[in-house]
């Protein structure tokens, strides 16, 4: 079982990283092999809309997205975590998401295993976890269009200081269970 885990916060050891790492701990406890990347530490440019990917495999932009595209091809599950920035993904996360365009064929089929399990993770300052539900639902639909199978969307509210997520024992426990659950999908 190979899991690709990504976070898009520029804050090292912050809430998003901690929550995703709780999922990773659950998965590793059940024997999963997990490759974790901090998107903010990678060199990922925006999509150039050159359409290279519509007649070739891979992407014409030769940066750190290329190994991630390769990992998606062989992953059994993906975890993507982002802090909520201005009601949306962080910019670091959005760069990654836009570059998934390289996985989409002209007929809207995809180059990776259709139905690849995906867990979406958000942390936010707003205590009401329903505040951005419309945006999270739309993202889940977008990923389903890309033929991921969105297993769940975990949201932790009330995260201001970078360790605040640890005070929410319920969400940390849920994250660990989610990691364990992912290992049952293969
Ligand atoms: C630039 C910026 C924009 C933010 N925008 C929002 C927002 O729109 N809604 C919200 O609830 N929290 C917002 N926050 C708070 C973060 O979502 C929250 O602190 C999150 O847990 C940060 O994740 P991290 O600890 O992994 O960096 C924002 C924080 C920053 C730095």
Nearest CA to ligand 1 atom 16: 124
Ligand 1: distance of its center to the CA of 82 in Å?
9
Ligand 1: distance of its center to the CA of 18 in Å?
14
Asked whether the beta carbons of 89 and 122 are under 8 A apart, the reply is: no
Asked whether the beta carbons of 175 and 22 are under 8 A apart, the reply is: yes
Domain that holds residue 61: 2-185
H or E, element range at 133: helix 133-145
Nearest CA to ligand 1 atom 28: 85
pTM above 0.85, yes or no: yes
Rg (CA), the chain: 16
Q: Report how many domains make up the chain.
A: 1
Q: Please report, in tens digits, the pLDDT of each residue of the chain (186 residues total).
A: 999 999 999 999 999 999 999 999 999 999 999 999 999 999 999 999 999 999 999 999 999 999 999 999 999 999 999 999 999 999 999 999 999 999 999 999 999 999 999 999 999 999 999 999 999 999 999 999 999 999 999 999 999 999 999 999 999 999 999 999 999 997
Nearest CA to ligand 1 atom 4: 85
CATH number of the domain where residue 52 is located: 3.40.50.360
Residue with tokens 């995703």: 20
Ligand 1: distance of its center to the CA of 93 in Å?
13
Ligand 1: distance of its center to the CA of 151 in Å?
24
Instruction: Map 148-178 to HEC letters.
Output: EEEEEEEEECCCCCCCHHHHCHHHHHHHHHH
Residues lining ligand 1, Cβ inside 6 A: 9, 11, 14-17, 83-87, 123-126, 159-160, 162
């Amino acid at each position: 079982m190979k899991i690709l885990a990504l976070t898009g916060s520029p804050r090292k050891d912050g809430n998003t990283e901690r929550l995703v790492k709780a999922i990773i701990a659950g998965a590793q406890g059940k024997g999963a092999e997990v490759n974790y990347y901090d998107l903010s530490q990678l060199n990922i440019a925006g999509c150039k809309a050159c359409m290279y990917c519509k007649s070739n495999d891979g992407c014409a932009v030769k940066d750190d997205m290329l190994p991630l595209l390769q990992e998606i091809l062989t992953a059994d599950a993906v975890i993507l975590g982002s802090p909520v920035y201005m009601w949306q993904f962080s910019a670091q996360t959005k760069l990654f998401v836009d570059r998934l365009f390289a996985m989409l064929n002209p007929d809207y089929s995809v180059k990776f295993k259709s139905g690849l399990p995906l867990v979406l993770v958000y942390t936010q300052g707003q205590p009401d976890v329903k505040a951005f539900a419309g945006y999270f639902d739309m993202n889940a639909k977008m990923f389903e269009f890309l033929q991921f199978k969105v297993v769940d969307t975990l949201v932790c509210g009330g995260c201001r200081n970078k360790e605040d997520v640890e005070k929410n024992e319920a969400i940390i426990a849920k994250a660990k269970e989610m990691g364990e659950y992912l290992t049952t999908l293969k």
